[in-house]
Amino acid sequence: MDICHLVAPDINLEDAPKEAERMLSWLKQQGIIDPIFQGIEDDEIIYRPTAEYKEPVLYVIDDNIVPTQLPENTLKNYLTIVTKRTVFHAGGNGLGLYCPQCTSEQSERSNDWSDTVTDWYEGKPESLACINCGFDAPLSGWKFDPQWAFGHLGFSFHDWDLSDAFIMEFEQTLGSEIIVVYQHD
């Protein structure tokens, strides 16, 4: 499954639920999210797209690719919204952690990295120092390839192709920076 997370790192924990509701209303008003349907899957609230945005399942029949809509109660693509302290990671896409000062790769610091993430989850001040140049910064100050993000508000579009124009409009409507994280599991 592929997920595109739109993460707002500057939205604090207190404001996250209010901003999530505001953006969900906007998605419904834009005709992107079904205004009626709300389901539960794996203890998460899921929202389905309107028919216009519902992705078909592609079957190969006689060597031809044939799109077929899923039954109404089956979702291929859907939205979940996270309003808690979360690391939005790239999943099977991996992790490359680079110093923003000297660009040195930091994977050999996996124990330090893990401890820093734990501190972040616990709401403690977190900082990671470069093994090459000594640059020291919180996690949000480091470079990731592929991109990762840390925040309290994320919109996770599961199996959904999002255009750059949509992402820019989403960010503008939210009124806060968006970090895009592509996760592959």
Would you say residue 56 has pLDDT above 70?
A: no
| Extended strands (E) in the chain | 2-7, 39-41, 44-46, 57-61, 64-68, 78-82, 86-88, 97-98, 128-129, 136-137, 143-144, 149-151, 154-158, 179-184
Determine the pLDDT at residue 92. 80
| Domain ranges within the chain, ordered by starting residue | 2-79+148-184, 95-145
Quick one: pLDDT band at residue 39, thresholds 50, 70, 90? confident
The whole model's pTM is what? 0.85
Average pLDDT over residues 24-32: 95
Determine the pLDDT at residue 50. 86
Give pLDDT tens digits for 79-105.
999 999 999 988 887 788 899 999 998
Peptide bond into 146 cis (omega under 30): yes
What is the average pLDDT value for the chain, to the nearest integer? Answer: 86
CA distances from 110 to 85, 97, 100, 135, 148 (A): 21, 10, 17, 17, 15
